[in-house]
Structure 1
Amino acid sequence: MKIMVIDGQGGRLGKLLVEAVKDRIPPAEVLAVGTNGIATATMQKAGADHVATGENPVVRGVMDADVVLGPLGIVVAHSILGEVTPRMAEAVGGCRGKKILIPMNSCGVSVAGIQEMGMAGYVKLAADQADAFLQEAR
C-alpha cells in the first residue's frame, strides 16, 4: 500500500502525518513530496521512505498512491502562498487514491461544519481514516 504525503511551507504538517502513518500503518510505503525543499527535508527527517520536491513528483506520484494526505490546499490552485500549482491541484483532485485532507488556515479555504481542533487532532483523525480505508480495501 502506497501513501503519499504532500506539504509545503516548512513541512510541519507533513512531518506529523509521516510520523503518524509510520506509527499507525507500519507496512505502508510513504512517499513524501514537498512543494519546496524545506518541506521535503522536514518530511524526510520524519521517516518517509521516499522523498521528492516539486510539481512533477506530485503529478506523477498521485497516480500510484492508494491514499493521499495533506492540507486542504493541495486541491486548490495557487494556495499555500502560491506553492500549489494548478497542475498539482488538478492531479491531486483527479487521482484515483483516497484523499484525506486537513483544513488549514494558510490555504485560504474554510469548510462549514468542520470541527475546529488542533493540528495533532487532525493528524490523528487522518491517520485513523487512512488505516480504516486501507483495511477495507484489503
Structure 2
Amino acid sequence: MGALLEPVTTGNGLTLRNRVVMAALTRNRCVDSLKPGPAQVKYYSDRARDGPGIIVSEAILVDWAGTDWKHAPVMIANEHAEAWGIVVDAVHKEGALMFFQAWHVGRCQHDQMPIMKDKGRLVFAPSAIPAKDGRYHDLPGMPVRALLLQHEPH
C-alpha cells in the first residue's frame, strides 16, 4: 500500500504525487452552455485536494454529431476549451493532473434527438448492432432498439 501513495515520475516525465487515479463520473451539470462552470471547478478541485495524482474527466462529447445528453459537456469550440482550462487550472493548483475523456455516443443516438435536430448533422457508430435495453435521454419512453431499427440500411 505504501507505494500506491508515494510520488512517481512516469516514463514521459510526468510527476505524480501518488499512483491513485480518479475514474470518470459524468455529472450532467452543463445546463445552459454545454461547457463547465463553477460547479465543475468546485467538483474537480475538491477531489484533487490531497487526493489522486490523476483525475480523468467526465465523458466529454467531441462532436455535435455524436451528442445525446443535453447537459453533458462538450469540447468542440474554443469557448469549451477555455472553460475546461479553468477546471484544469483549479485541479493543477490542488496538485493533481487531469486527463480528458473523449466521448461519442455512437449507436446510442437518433436523428430526432433535440440537440441533433438543432445541429443538423448525424454520424452513427460503425456498428449495425443496436444498443440493448437503453433509452434515448431526450426521447422519453422510446427504446433504443426500436429507434435504431428504423435506420438500418435496406
Q: TM exceeds 0.5?
A: no
Q: Which has the higher helix share?
A: 1
Judging by fraction of residues, say which structure has more strand: 1
- TM-score normalized with structure 1 length: 0.32
The structure whose Rg is larger is 2
- Higher relative contact order at CA 8 Å, sep ≥6: structure 1 or structure 2? 1
Per the normalisation by structure 2, the TM-score is 0.30
